[in-house]
Structure 1
Amino acid sequence: MRRRTILQAASTGLAAALPALHRPDAPPRVTEAYVVRLRERTARLRRLDDVLGGGDTYRVYLGEVQHTKGLLRQQSFTDGARRQLTALLAEQAQQAGWAAFDSGRTRDAVALYEESRTAAQDAQDPDLYGNSLAFLAYESLADDRRTAVSFAGDSCATITERTPSTVRALLYERLAWACAVDGQATSAEKALVAARRALDEAQDGEQQPDWAAWVDRTELDIMTGRCWTELRRPLRAVPILTHALDQFADAHARDKALYLSWLADAYLTAGEIEQAAETTGRALQLASSIASVRPRQRLAPLLDRLRPYADTTEVRALLDHADS
């Protein structure tokens, strides 16, 4: 408990402790150059999500949304600056929505994704509009899989020849995930192929938005393995997940814990009980100090599926640790 309190205190003050993250004062008239500075700040703040959970970042990201909304209400603008700031609001609302989702604030997440969709539409930014739909698809999966697939399909319908390669890959892989969770194996595989093609067709020097720059071949391999796990195809899932996770640093504890949970799931489906227990244990260890509800949500049913094998040494040790 004391360690958790220390981690929370440290992360709460993290943004304020970094001089590069101090918000620049707004000029009398908001210019495009000023919006660029705010977008760079948003990119820096986004890096917090690499190492912290939504429970630690939500208020930071929500504060950015509220500040930008205040500027849009109160300030005057030079030509083009209002539209660009509105697009930035869409971007910030997506990040805050993601943190809300990660920390278990489902209603807040949906409201922020909807706000993002409206702002992206007002800014006439098809990439951010498509991503807002993809976020709504991701959030909808728990309650309404068909609606999630519909949202994800609509997000991919926003793709044009001008859509950056990482954005195309991101939208297609989220469509693949929605289809996989809904049991649509053929559609999931087609979407994964489209996502990989998007990355393969990336042009040297092509500008990628920071909010999609994290999508690379390792990320796509992980999503591919997750999809095959959901579709109960462990012989496909295990090799690609194992290879991708070998390249994934433990510093990204939340994400690695989540991805390990799908590897453990695939092992369990394949009847590899010892490997499933060992992998679940690694995921539990990584998730123990992260302010995110999602790893535990993923790992709880895995632990239940392993309980019938409690006479196995590895499973017994895992359950004793999890129940302590």
Structure 2
Amino acid sequence: MNRLAELRQAHGWSQQKLYLEMAKQAQIDGQALPAWTSMKPRISFWENGKVVPEAPRQRLLATVLQIEVHELGFDETVTPPTAATTGSTVPSAAITPELVRHLGSMFSSFAETDRMIGPRMVLDVVRAQCQMIETLCVSARQPVRDELLKVGAHYFELGGWLAQDSGDFETAGSLSSKALDMAYQSGDTWMISYTFMRRSNIATDNGNAADGLSLAHAALRDGVHLGPKLAALSLRQLANAQSLLGDEKACSRAIDEALEIVDETGDPEPFANYCTSQYVQMEGASAWLRLGRPDRAATLLTSALDTWPSGDQRDRGIGVARLATAHTLAGDIDAACEAGRDALSIANTAPSARAISELSRLRNRLTPWRRIREVAELTDQIRTLT
């Protein structure tokens, strides 16, 4: 276990104070840190050992804590080794179409496990798969190499998602960029658009509206290759970006259009099966909450949660947390506490950085009612989780 929490407490700092010190030093170094709302779950994951910071973040932590990097107690190997650093290769004759199909067949089980219990138990396994595929690509020959690159793009993108949902936006961006490179090399036009959509999501989750908007437009640009689910996901990203920019009309148009097309019949999109009308409603509700419209958010969330798929616990918990926030903003504190307790229970079984961020926002929104016993109990339980 690392020593970060112990070192922080020795300075008498809260997690937010540590973040502020990191932000000041980053500015001196000519860098930029994500917003506190994004960094809070990340610091929590660093301290409890669920995520290891990337090397630049470790150096920044060591600087502000006035210690050497090794004194942080993290694993020395932050980035998994690759074929380029180990010299390990596989004979090209061993990289067959059957092997590529086998790797592709395993993908859905990792994605499904994430939807059921969150990213924590899946991330390391998926990163190991990414490392193996990258090693295989060194020796693979055409036409097998293109098929391997297509499979690799999906694995690297899933790894980017898992890192994002663990609060590690730096690793998420790196893995997503690698996925885009692989998609371009293999000529997988659907995956190119999908990866632009995912990079837009990383940007908006990090509070970057401008990049989020332009990347969403990039995802939608080659519309002939988009199926209805990918188009709906990309429109969801337009809505997210427009809500950050405060453009209510543009946000509403994007949400409505996404809901209109998400259930249309089209070519199979197995890597976007999670995009249902309920999912789009949950994501649209997040945009409405940013715009200060809890009424619109609650309408979408109530409809979505009434028919939510039973196996997708992680995202259901996020939707319930957003409903609790909508009730709080509307002044219905009893309903907010009921939904908040449900969301907290789900977050304990299927944890993710997004769930923690949603619950942290709920706790802050409930502050004016802190003297109510039910509110105090709920906010204390949320504080323990986060």
Instruction: Report sequence identity in percent.
Output: 23
The one-letter code of the counterpart of 1:207 is P
- Counterpart position of 2:268: 207
- Counterpart position of 1:243: 303
Give the Cα–Cα distance (whole angstroms) in 1 for the partners of residues 115 and 222 of structure 2: 27
Deviations along 1:89-146, one digit per CA (max 9) or x if unpaired, are 1111110011111112221111001111111111111211112112211112224221
- Residue pairs, 1:262-281, within 5 angstroms: 262-281=322-341
Give the Cα–Cα distance (whole angstroms) in 2 for the partners of residues 301 and 224 of structure 1: 17
- Counterpart position of 2:368: 308
Match of 1:155 among 202, 219, 236: 219
- Counterpart position of 1:231: 291
The one-letter code of the counterpart of 1:215 is C
Structure 1, unmatched stretches of 5+, are 1-7, 9-24
Match of 1:284 among 327, 339, 344: 344
Report deviation, 1:32: 4.0
Structure 2, unmatched stretches of 5+, are 1-49, 51-89
- Counterpart position of 1:3: none
Match of 2:197 among 111, 119, 134: 134
Q: Residue 73 in 1 paired to residue 134 in 2? A: no
SS at match of 1:54: coil
Structure 1 residues 145 and 52: alpha-carbon distance in aligned structure 2, compared to 1, 3 A threshold: same
Match of 2:173 among 110, 113, 117: 110
Task: Select between 150-159 and 187-196 the one with higher mean Cα deviation.
Answer: 187-196
Match of 2:252 among 189, 200, 224: 189
Q: Is the 8 A contact 1:103 1:292 kept in 2?
A: yes
Deviations along 1:181-216, one digit per CA (max 9) or x if unpaired, are 33222222222233233335324xx322x2112212
- Counterpart position of 1:217: 277
Q: Is the 8 A contact 1:165 1:201 kept in 2?
A: yes
- Counterpart position of 2:101: 36
Deviations along 1:2-58, one digit per CA (max 9) or x if unpaired, are xxxxxx9xxxxxxxxxxxxxxxx9982544454233212112222111112222211
SS at match of 2:262: helix
Report deviation, 1:249: 5.4
Cα RMSD for the two superposed structures:
2.3
Give every structure 1 segment of 4 or more consecutive aligned residues whose post-TM-superposition deviation is greater than 6 Å. none
Count residues with an aligned counterpart.
295
Match of 2:239 among 156, 176, 179: 176
Match of 2:210 among 146, 151, 164: 146
Q: Is the 8 A contact 1:56 1:291 kept in 2?
A: no
SS at match of 1:56: coil
- Counterpart position of 1:47: 112
Q: Is the 8 A contact 1:127 1:159 kept in 2?
A: no
Report deviation, 1:88: 1.4
Match of 2:147 among 64, 74, 84: 84
Give the Cα–Cα distance (whole angstroms) in 2 for the partners of residues 180 and 51 of structure 1: 29
Q: TM-score, normalised by structure 2?
A: 0.70
Deviations along 1:269-323, one digit per CA (max 9) or x if unpaired, are 2121221222122111211233422211221122122122123343133234445
Give the Cα–Cα distance (whole angstroms) in 2 for the partners of residues 169 and 185 of structure 1: 18
Deviations along 1:159-190, one digit per CA (max 9) or x if unpaired, are 21x42222222222222222223322222222
Q: Is the 8 A contact 2:313 2:346 kept in 1?
A: yes
SS at match of 1:172: helix
SS at match of 1:285: helix
